[in-house]
């Protein structure tokens, strides 16, 4: 058992909530997962999903799914549907119905009116460039807008006319009146509403003004009775503004914002804008391309919900920014598939083997376990005949002493079958090995040969019974550990040209019964999954490589 399985990963938020519940601050907690429906969820969102829903599960509370749909121009029903599917696939259920920030637009508008009436909000007509100029810098205070001292009556009139659609997009905004000299720039009269004529996927054309995220988010939390608003560290500087709105509005609850470090993986890009660019520019085959770090892409790659949840547990919840080695993700995946994926044999780069002393018309059928450690998974039948296919890399003409596979004059065991010996090598006119003539020892089925030791074991398939399949071999999408971290280079410069290789594999016939999303260990090669969309279409078998068998991260942990 690895260190990660024996030592609980840190989760400071869980500790905070435990103390608050023990002190009677809350009787029950309520969290929320509030994605923007402007793209597919990625592995970073998986951490947030596991955290928010996991805390609710652990403490017997509730977790809402709320779409932060305040920017309709970039949102779509496709994204809404995919997000719901991802959350369910990961194994979580939200409390009650799916919620939308847009459900609260009427209430948020009334809250804005309340701020105007209290002299804490005003309509401003500075353009974007002027707004930046007036805002100041980190070292210099901002200066008041010339519209800051409008009367309450004028602001109410102007805001009402904004809602009525009397002004052009961008002509006016509603701003909070806080402090233009505040050290925290987020408190320098932030924008609450913008004029934006955009058809909304939930509210249609009812609104031509939309609230900004900072104004809508905390109030939506309060309306839903959220106790803990958990977000990533980039929102830490927004917390004073979050609290200012809660304190200055007649909201029904007082949610508490807590920040944690986001998930950063090496060899990975998780910016939704850049993931969308990869899709739009056809660098990948869609949001669910198995090379993408999206949840739907990982699912198609063969990741399991349990492996992703386990990975998020291993990473833990802290306030320390850092980069997680993708090898840890692969380790969580392998450890899950090792236990749960049935075995099968498939040859990806075949060499023909003819067993010259085996009867030409004879076929044996071996009944072998689907999984060597789990008899409850059942059995599979593997045919054996005179002519086989083995991996090209399992044969070497001039093999070194420690090459324990097949070479001329040396023996090797076939998985679940006999010991064979290579007697002759046949090559084509270019000198390429195309066939091996071998003999078998009929006394070695299920037992070791007498008087000699055979060290190597290789996999194989019967040529006559082999089932061809399209096999898609995936590697990291990027060649650089930090593709998004170079000032003098574009992240697209680091796309791995060998991130996808398509080949034909020759499978044992038991794989004919595989259906989409079934995972297998192709013995001695790695873990593969039947493609959830293409497998079985017109009878074609399609398998995606999930991950190889080697686990460098586990070795590092043992050394540590």
State the chain's mean pLDDT as an integer. Answer: 95
Task: Report whether 40 contacts 260 (CB < 8 A).
Answer: no
- Is residue 364 located within the same domain as residue 338? no
Q: Classify residue 286 as exposed, middle or buried by CB count within 10 Å of its CB (0-12, 13-18, 19+).
A: middle
Residue 211 and residue 108 in contact, taking contact as beta carbons nearer than 8 Å: yes
- Looking at the structure, tell me whether residues 434 and 506 fall in a common domain: no
Same domain, 487 and 504: yes
What pLDDT, on a 0 to 100 scale, did the predictor assign at position 451? 87
Domain-embedded: residue 267: no
The answer to whether 134 and 143 are in contact (CB under 8 A) is yes
Digit-coded pLDDT (tens) for 266-313: 999 999 999 999 999 999 999 999 999 999 999 999 999 999 999 999
Split at pLDDT 50, 70, 90, the class of 553 is low
Taking the CB of residue 253, how many other CB atoms lie within 10 A of it?
13
Would you say 333 and 327 are in contact if contact means Cβ atoms under 8 Å apart?
no
Span 351-355, mean pLDDT?
98
Tokens matching residue 548 = 């190889």
Residue 7's pLDDT is: 46
407-458: per-residue pLDDT in tens? 999 999 999 999 999 999 999 999 999 999 999 999 999 999 988 999 899 9
Which of 296, 387, 344, 333 has its CA nearest to residue 39? 296
Q: Are residues 193 and 220 in the same domain?
A: yes
C-alpha span between 175 and 134 (Å, rounded): 13
- DSSP assignment of 226-287 equals -SEEEEEGGGGGGHHHHHHHHHHS--S---EEEEEPPP-BTT----HHHHHHHHHTTSSSST
pLDDT score, position 189: 98
Asked whether residue 464 is domain-assigned, the answer is no
pLDDT value at position 4? 37
Asked if pLDDT for residue 72 goes beyond 50, the answer is yes
- Interatomic CA distance for residues 126 and 86, integer angstroms: 42
- The answer to whether the pTM exceeds 0.75 is yes
Q: Is the pLDDT of residue 560 over 70?
A: no
The verdict on residue 168 lying in a domain is yes
Q: Kindly list the distances between the CA atom of residue 6 and the CA atoms of 54, 74, 373, 554, in Å, as whole numbers in the listed order.
A: 19, 44, 22, 14
Residue with tokens 């989760």: 11
**Per-residue pLDDT tens over the stretch 38-51:** 999 999 999 999 99
Question: Is the alpha carbon torsion for 138, 140, 145, 148 positive or negative?
Answer: positive
Domain tally, the chain: 3
Is the alpha carbon torsion for 359, 363, 368, 371 positive or negative?
A: positive
User: Do residue 533 and residue 408 come from a single domain?
Assistant: no
**Which 3 state secondary structure label does DSSP give 438?**
strand
The pLDDT tens digits of the residues spanning 31-40 come to: 999 999 999 9
Q: How far apart are CA 333 and CA 548, in angstroms?
A: 10
pLDDT in tens, 468-494: 999 999 999 999 999 999 999 999 999
Do 142 and 153 lie in one domain? The reply is yes
Same domain, yes or no: 339 and 358: no
Q: Which pLDDT score, from 0 to 100, does residue 197 have?
A: 96
Which CATH number fits the domain that encloses residue 414? 2.40.240.10
Distance in Å from the first CA to the final CA of the chain: 14
Query: Domain boundary at 212, 234, 260, which?
Result: 260
Tell me what pLDDT residue 94 has: 98
CA geometry: angle 72, 76, 81, nearest 5 deg: 135
Distance, in Å, from the CA atom of 110 to the CA atom of 137, rounded to the nearest integer, reads 32
Handedness of CA 329, 332, 335, 341 (dihedral sign): negative
Q: What is the pLDDT of residues 184-232, one digit of tens each?
A: 999 999 999 999 999 999 999 999 999 999 999 999 999 999 999 999 9
Contacts of 413 (CB under 8 A, 6+ apart): 419, 420, 444, 454, 456, 457, 458
CA atoms within 13 A on the CB side of 470: 14
* Chain mean position to CA 172: 40
What pLDDT, in 10s, does the model give residues 373-406?
999 999 999 999 999 999 999 999 988 888 999 9
Q: Which has the closest alpha carbon to 341: 467, 465, 521?
A: 521
Would you please indicate which residues are annotated as catalytic (active-site) residues?
36, 262, 272
Higher pLDDT, 525 or 552: 525
Q: How confident is the model at residue 249 (pLDDT cuts 50, 70, 90)?
A: very high
Is 419 within a domain? yes
Residue 385 counted as domain residue: yes
Q: Are residues 352 and 326 in the same domain?
A: no
- Judge contact between 344 and 522, C-beta under 8 A: yes
- Boundary of a domain, candidates 239, 260, 281: 260
In a domain, 266, yes or no: no
Q: What are 209's strand-pairing partners? A: 195
Q: Is residue 176 scored above 90 in pLDDT? A: yes
The pLDDT tens digits for 128-169 are: 999 999 999 999 999 999 999 999 999 999 999 999 999 999
Residues 19, 128, single domain; the answer is yes
Which CATH number is 234's domain given?
3.40.50.620
Indicate if the pLDDT at residue 5 is higher than 50.
Answer: no
My answer on whether 393 and 532 are in the same domain is no
| Cα angle: 480, vertex 481, 482; to 5 degrees | 90
pLDDT at 401: 85
- Assess contact for 67 and 41: CB atoms under 8 A: no
How many whole angstroms separate alpha carbon 218 and alpha carbon 239? 10
Of residues 371, 384, 296, 309, the one with CA closest to residue 340: 371
Domain C-terminal end among 230, 260, 290:
260
Residues 6 or more apart from 372 whose CB is under 8 A from it?
Answer: 343
Query: Which DSSP letter does residue 470 get?
Result: E
Mean pLDDT value of segment 342-348: 98
Residue 265 belongs to a domain: no
Q: What mean pLDDT comes out for the span 312-334?
A: 95
Same domain, 351 and 412: yes
Percent of the chain whose pLDDT exceeds 70? 97
How high is the pLDDT of residue 321? Answer: 86
For residue 192, give its domain range.
3-260
Q: Where is 329: in which H helix or E strand?
A: helix 326-340
Phi first, then psi: what are they for 279, rounded to 5°? Answer: -75, -50
Please check whether residue 287 lies inside any domain of the structure: yes
More confident residue, 288 or 4: 288
| Same-domain check for residues 107 and 58 | yes
What are the b/e assignments for 176-187, b being 16+ CB within 10 Å? bbbebebeeebb
What's the CA gap between 545 and 393, in Å, rounded? 18
């Amino acid at each position: 058992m690895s260190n990660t399985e024996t030592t609980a990963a840190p989760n400071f938020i869980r500790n905070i909530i435990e103390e608050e519940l023990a002190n009677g601050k809350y009787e029950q907690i309520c969290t929320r997962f509030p994605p923007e429906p402007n793209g597919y969820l990625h592995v970073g969102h998986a951490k947030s999903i596991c955290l928010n829903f996991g805390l609710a599960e652990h403490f017997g509370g509730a977790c809402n799914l709320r779409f932060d749909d305040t920017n309709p121009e970039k949102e779509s029903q496709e994204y809404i549907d995919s997000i719901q599917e991802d959350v369910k696939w990961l194994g979580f259920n939200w409390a009650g119905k799916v919620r939308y920030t847009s459900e609260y637009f009427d209430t948020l508008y009334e809250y804005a009116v309340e701020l105007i009436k209290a002299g804490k909000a005003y309509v401003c007509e500075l353009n974007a460039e002027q707004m930046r100029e007036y805002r100041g810098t980190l070292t210099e205070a901002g200066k008041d807008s010339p519209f800051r001292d409008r009367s309450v009556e004028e602001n109410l009139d102007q805001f009402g006319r904004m809602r009525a659609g009397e002004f052009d997009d961008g002509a006016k905004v509603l701003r909070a009146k806080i402090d233009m000299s505040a050290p925290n720039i987020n408190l320098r009269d932030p924008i609450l509403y913008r004029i934006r004529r955009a058809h909304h996927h939930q509210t249609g054309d009812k609104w031509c003004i939309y609230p900004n995220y900072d104004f809508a988010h905390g109030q939506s939390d309060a309306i839903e009775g959220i106790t803990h608003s958990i977000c990533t560290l980039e929102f830490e500087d927004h917390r004073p503004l979050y609290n200012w709105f809660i304190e200055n509005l007649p909201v029904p609850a007082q949610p508490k914002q807590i920040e944690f470090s986001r998930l950063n993986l090496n060899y990975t890009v998780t910016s939704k804008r850049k993931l969308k660019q990869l899709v739009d520019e056809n660098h990948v085959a869609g949001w669910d391309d198995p090379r993408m770090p999206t949840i739907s892409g990982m699912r198609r790659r063969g990741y399991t919900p349990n492996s992703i949840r386990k990975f998020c547990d291993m990473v833990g919840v802290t306030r320390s920014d850092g980069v997680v080695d993708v090898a840890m993700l692969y380790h969580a995946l392998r450890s899950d598939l090792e236990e749960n994926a049935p075995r099968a044999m498939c040859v990806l780069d075949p060499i023909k083997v003819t067993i010259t002393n085996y009867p030409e018309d004879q076929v044996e059928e071996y009944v072998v376990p689907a999984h060597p450690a789990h008899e409850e998974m059942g059995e599979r039948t593997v045919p054996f005949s005179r002519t086989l296919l083995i991996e090209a890399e399992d044969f070497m003409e001039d093999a070194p002493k420690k090459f324990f596979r097949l070479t001329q004059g040396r023996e090797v065991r076939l998985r679940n079958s006999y010991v064979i010996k290579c007697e002759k090598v046949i090559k084509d006119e270019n000198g390429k090995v195309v066939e091996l003539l071998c003999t078998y020892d009929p006394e070695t089925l299920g037992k070791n040969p007498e008087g000699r030791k055979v060290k190597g074991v290789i996999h194989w398939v019967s040529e006559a019974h082999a089932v061809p399949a399209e096999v898609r071999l995936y590697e990291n999408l990027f060649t650089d550990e930090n593709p998004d971290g170079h000032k003098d280079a574009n992240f697209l410069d680091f796309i791995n040209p060998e991130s996808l290789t398509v080949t034909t594999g020759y499978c044992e016939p038991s794989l004919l019964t595989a259906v989409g999303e079934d995972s297998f260990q192709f013995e001695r090669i790695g873990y593969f999954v039947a493609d959830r969309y293409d497998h079985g279409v017109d009878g074609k078998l399609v398998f995606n490589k999930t991950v190889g068998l080697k686990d460098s991260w586990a070795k590092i942990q043992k050394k540590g």
